[in-house]
Structure 1
């Protein structure tokens, strides 16, 4: 398209903004339907930088300039309203695969109780649609059941709650034998599976352009506003019959808010108020980490875990849904730093004996899966728990107390020191699960098909559309749900456009 300001060429039948999990699904399903699809990814094409694959328990989070390596992640500063004037860090993936290329690979479908309250649709509701999308997503991503740790089993017994063994989207010999090479890619065993590689949209005819950051949506009026394409940072204007936003909860919200401002400035009419509300009622899962007593961690730590989280324990306290997470690796050890070698390209070095006694404690997390505190994404900032609800802190605190008591009980049964270092209380660390969602939720900003009412030519298929509000959400980590919802919405859109 060059730098021409004229809308003089058609880029594709459909432009997919973002090559993360939702973008991989959308690009694949639309291309399979015979449509000309162009996927735009703001991040670099990391496939051009040969990387040493990491085991799934390693989290490749580092700054781009660290060691001169090309980072697969970007760090977004965020305000933490629950901590007063605190500052949090939000990590997101960059490049094909998006955040799924840097996450813990945990596959945890939505809580059915939450799905029953999602906005309905004609003929069938979201519980049925979600199940259908999840089945398709699992057929491609092939989550693998992994054994939970001894610590996870002991915690479940002490809490009197069932242990749910983990499932991870990691490459495995069993998965390679049960799925096609085209759908599974060629990742070494034990490494996280990248959804862009797994869905392989390019093999279905889709095109991918990396380093293409979308600055804004191209809007036209004429009675009923329409999205006719996108404007890139380099000035290129790309036109399509349909634009599909799969840029993630943060970037999708910012594009929608920019569109609202343009609709008002140009007096095009349309749903400016709906779009301006994007990002104002999002959700994030707050989490408290409790340090495991050193002697107990040394006894229960396993040397070669398949992932950072291999089991979880649902915990209901006073009607609130929480999840206990016995992490297999201390986060200070799991976060991988880059090393660059002349022969191996980019690699994230694993220190000798990484899971031996490093002096860094194991941690057990408790996350609140039905948060009432609202987070905000706008043009300038991400503000987590911007409108805090005091009941969230109460529920989280009760969960942390339950974990602390369980750890003390486990240590006591094994004849160990029952307290933390120096005989004090077990240390706690407050943070978030990196699960931001619901910046353009169904039933408010979008309808049940990911459309913005009153704005043609646009669909949203990513974590933005997950409903928020009392009793809504997903009651689980969002990774599996993002793929399941994207499957359903993209398949529906493909049928409409191809028909």
Structure 2
């Protein structure tokens, strides 16, 4: 018997396990479907794409997307200790204060910018110039990148030549501008939540971690969650919780597990022979940051040749060099039209060939920079394919299915093409690799439909309001919460790892009945 069972040892689950086990009289079980985070590619920053479509990846394939002419999109998610924080590009972005204030205005009590900022600061150990916008002494190391590739610098120069202001800190007073990203790295290596939170807590006798165990359903006693059923190597196990079960399985898997357990749209559950325990819009409101990039071949040495024995020794001995690159080293936040009160696109610039959703081989020196829609109006859905727990969920993002999203992406591509033509980048361009064949609106939109892929930021499928309350408790039952990016009412403007960690920090206090940090 445990006090708390946490399902999913990802960005949120590792935080919760560490924080809840600080109370020595509380027994905590952390359950992870994947293995331990022991592959070298996890910890070497520049190698993360080598984890795609391996045992460390859920490797989902989305449904046929109507806004992409029926194309399906690869949807990687981390399946190991640390979850997607062990497989992401390590960019530390909190989002925009307007995101959180909008949550609060819509009814998410306690989730305004002023409410959440203390949790960002508590989590952070910033290795840089002292700033009131950053915290020190927390578990999560945040630092400036140590690669600073010339091609990333060239992008920053070209963007300034195009009239975009430089910013030294996207987590400062305002997001707008172009610059280099802060990263969740410690001494040049990845600092996942498994490294930052879980590893220091593993010696506690009141914390158990069970890997290779996929949760198949939540166990109930009446309307109270009392535990979980697990499939571990074909053997079904049951583990029970005296206080609460917490789902931290992510925006695809948390709604999937709720629906398998009878919590979701009653009509859809009935079609799979599942009796609805609670009729809730679980799985709806799926959001993401769709991304479209431009790629050019270059005679400048890219990260293609970074994996030399010399560079590996430099990484291991000094924590620097090209293998510390997070790939998306530089970028920025921009407004594509007048009248906006915050950025509507984010750019990532990579000094390497990155194409075909990151799963095709790198064959030449190239660079890529692309734009992601920060506030998409398209909404997708996660639903059941089958009542069999091992069957992957049905995931439809509905990318580019609204006129607003299509128009914003066309404006974003025009902005990128303008930057590409500036001297800072033009001198590095040998030939076009992946660029629009036509500069008409129709041509740019056709290019976007072919090249668009996820920026790995799914959110919103168990949103505060429709599915959980402001304390992240699932409506209609007791002893059950959801703590991950799925609870976001709207996806934040920026990379979602730092906000997910913040959500877990705040949830730990909610579970323990503690006040917010001063």
Q: Residue 58 of structure 2: SS of its match in structure 1? A: strand
Q: How many residues align?
A: 432
Cα distance, 1:412 vs. partner?
8.3
Could you say which residue in structure 1 is the equivalent of 2:56? 72
User: Which structure 1 residue ranges, 4+ long, deviate > 4 Å from structure 2?
Assistant: 120-125, 261-270, 297-303, 332-337, 411-428
Alpha-carbon displacement from aligned partner over 1:243-301 (angstroms, at most 9, x marks no partner): 0111111110111222336997899986x222xx1111110111111113535x55999
Are the equivalent residues in 1 in contact too, given 2:263–2:279 (CA < 8 A)? no
Within the candidate set 66, 70, 91, 2:76 is matched to: 91
- The CA distance in 1 between the partners of 2:247 and 2:70, in whole Å, is 32
Q: Tell me the residue number matched to 1:309.
A: 328
Aligned residue number for residue 175 of structure 1: none
1:131 aligns with 2:130: no
Residues 64-102 of structure 1: per-residue CA shift (max 9 Å, x gap): 4xxxxxx32231110233213111000011111111111
Number of the residue aligned with 2:104:
119
TM-score normalised by L of structure 1: 0.78
Q: How does 1:187-266 map to 2 (within 5 A)?
A: 190-200=188-198, 201-204=201-204, 205-221=206-222, 225-233=223-231, 234-240=235-241, 241-260=243-262
SS at match of 1:253: helix
1:437 paired with 2:482, answer no
Structure 2 partner of 1:404? 417
In structure 2, what is the equivalent of residue 285 of structure 1? 289
Contact 1:81/1:383, CA 8 A, preserved across alignment: no
The 2-side partners of 1:193 and 1:330 are apart by 25
Aligned match for 1:394, one of 407, 410, 430: 407
How large is the RMSD of aligned CA atoms in angstroms? 3.4
Q: Given the alignment, which residue of 14, 17, 40 partners 1:24?
A: 14
Is 1:452 the counterpart of 2:474 in the alignment?
A: yes
Q: CA deviation at 1:328?
A: 2.5
- Picking from 159, 167, 175, the partner of 1:156 is 159
**CA distance change for structure 1 residues 308 and 421 in 2, over 3 Å: closer, same or farther?**
closer
Inter-partner Cα distance in structure 1 for 2:408 and 2:56: 34
1:489 is displaced (CA, Å) by 1.0
Structure 1 unaligned regions, length at least 5: 1-9, 65-70, 173-189, 338-350
Q: What are the superposed Cα offsets for residues 342-365 of structure 1, whole Å, 9 maximum, x if unpaired?
A: xxxxxxxxx9xx9xxx52521101
Q: Give the Å deviation of 1:61.
A: 2.6
Partners of 1:85 and 1:308 lie apart in 2 by 29
Of 474-483 and 159-168, deviating more is: 159-168
Match of 2:44 in 1: 55
Question: 1:326 is paired with a residue of what secondary structure?
Answer: strand
Question: Structure 1 residues 315, 228: CA separation in 2 closer, same or farther (over 3 Å shift)?
Answer: same
- Cα deviation, 1:439-463, whole Å, max 9, x if unaligned, reads 1011221111111222100111111
Where relative contact order (Cα < 8 A, 6+ residues apart) is larger, the structure is 1
- Supply the distance in 2 between the matched residues of 1:362 and 1:416 (Cα, whole angstroms): 9
In structure 2, distance between residues paired with 1:332 and 1:38 = 39
The 8 Å contact of residues 375 and 387 in structure 1, kept in 2 or not, is answered as no
- Once residues 96 and 423 of structure 1 are traced to their aligned partners in structure 2, the CA distance between those partners, rounded to angstroms, is 39
Distance 1:423 1:289 in 2: 10
Question: Aligned pair in 2 of structure 1 residues 54, 454: CA closer, same or farther (>3 Å)?
Answer: closer
Query: How far did 1:309 drift?
Result: 1.6
Distance (whole Å) between structure 1 residues aligned to residue 437 and residue 275 of structure 2: 63
User: Structure 2 vs 1, CA of residues 448 and 302 (structure 1 numbering), >3 Å: closer, same or farther?
Assistant: farther
2:184 to 169, 172, 175: 169
Q: What is residue 168 of structure 2 aligned with on the other side?
A: none
